[in-house]
Structure 1
Amino acid sequence: MRQRLADNGIFLLRVSVAMMMLSHGIPKALGYEELVQSFPDPLNVGTEVSAMLIVFAELGCSVLLLLGLFGRVAAASLFIAMMVAAFVHHFHDPWASKELPLLYAAVFAALTLTGSGSTSIDRWFSRKVLETGERSSRAPHPTEPAEPR
């Protein structure tokens, strides 16, 4: 019962934060040409690369997180993006400007640690791999004929 509640909590957290992050990523992707013209370069890699990275994180990684596909990698990428937003982009801004990216970062850190949970494509794939691995690595019983190679 406790595991089911924990899995439901992870699912709720993962889906809700992914949907919220999509509300930031979709407008950036739709207005990409204008975004590149005005986007800051907090990592000193160029405005176009910075804009591509944030669109990849906020849109691409959010979709992956929503699906529960490569959940830990997606959450870790979003964690890094939010830390850059809080401590590089908003470095000189007041605490109130850092608060939302830090809240997102805390959620993404938790999802990086927990993974996508049981209601995810990651879990489905891991079950399939385990099933396939069990079948292929099982030694035949002495009375069973060996499988042809």
Structure 2
Amino acid sequence: MKDLGLLILRVCSSILMLTHGLPKFLKLIAANFEFGDPLGIGAAPSLFLAVIGEFICPIFIIIGFKTRWATVPTIITMLVAAFIVHASDPYQVKEKAFLFLLTFTVILLVGPGKYSLDKR
């Protein structure tokens, strides 16, 4: 049952993350680089990094390919969201970022389970 639980955690969390990443991905491919710059590296690089963390890596996590590595950009993105982008916001605003951070940290620590490409 542990592996089934990890599959559900991996897939459902990543699908939920994709709902945040898809609009950013569509913005990126439309060459609309208007985006926040929380790290001071520029709007376009910030958007690109957010797309990697919220769209590309969750796809890898869903299929279980290089899962532990794929969680790292997503975790970093959620750290930036929680502690920089929403630093002055009330907890209720930060809560989603914390939940995603917790979920993807658990996936990093325990791995993808046997229902993944990593285990094939």
TM-score by length of 1: 0.76
Bigger CA radius of gyration: 1
Distance in 1, Cα, partners of 2:47 & 2:73: 14
1:112-127 alignment, distance < 5 Å: 112-124=108-120
Q: Alpha-carbon deviation of 1:31?
A: 2.0
Cα-to-partner distance string for 1:65-124 (whole Å, 9 max, x where unaligned): 011001001112211110110000111111111100000000000000011110000111
Q: After the TM superposition, which parts of structure 1 deviate over 4 Å for at least 4 consecutive aligned residues?
A: none
Is 2:44 the counterpart of 1:60? no
Deviations 1:16-51 (A, max 9, x none): 0111111111111112233x21x1111111111000
1:110 aligns with 2:106: yes
Whether 1:31 and 2:43 are equivalent positions in the alignment is no
Q: Distance in 2 between matches of 1:76 and 1:53?
A: 12
Q: Which runs of 5+ in 2 are unaligned?
A: none
Consecutive unaligned residues of structure 1, counting only runs of 5 or more, are 125-149
Residues 11 and 61 of structure 2 are in contact (CA less than 8 Å); yes or no, is this contact kept in structure 1?
A: yes
- Work out the percentage of aligned pairs sharing the same amino acid: 36
Amino acid at match of 1:40: G
- What is the aligned-residue RMSD (CA, Å)? 0.9
Cα separation, 1, equivalents of 2:22 and 2:6: 24
Q: Note the 1:1-149 alignment, pairs <5 A.
A: 5-32=1-28, 33-34=31-32, 36-37=33-34, 39-124=35-120
How far, CA to CA, are the matches of 2:72 and 2:25 in structure 1?
Answer: 21
- Give the 3-state SS of the residue equivalent to 1:61 in structure 2: helix
Q: Determine helix, strand or coil for the equivalent of 1:31.
A: helix
Question: Which has the bigger relative contact order, CA under 8 A and spacing at least 6?
Answer: 2
TM-score (norm 2): 0.94
Number of residue-to-residue matches in the alignment: 118
Q: Provide, for residues 109-148 of structure 1, a one-character-per-residue CA deviation record: whole Å limited to 9, x for no partner.
A: 0000011110000111xxxxxxxxxxxxxxxxxxxxxxxx
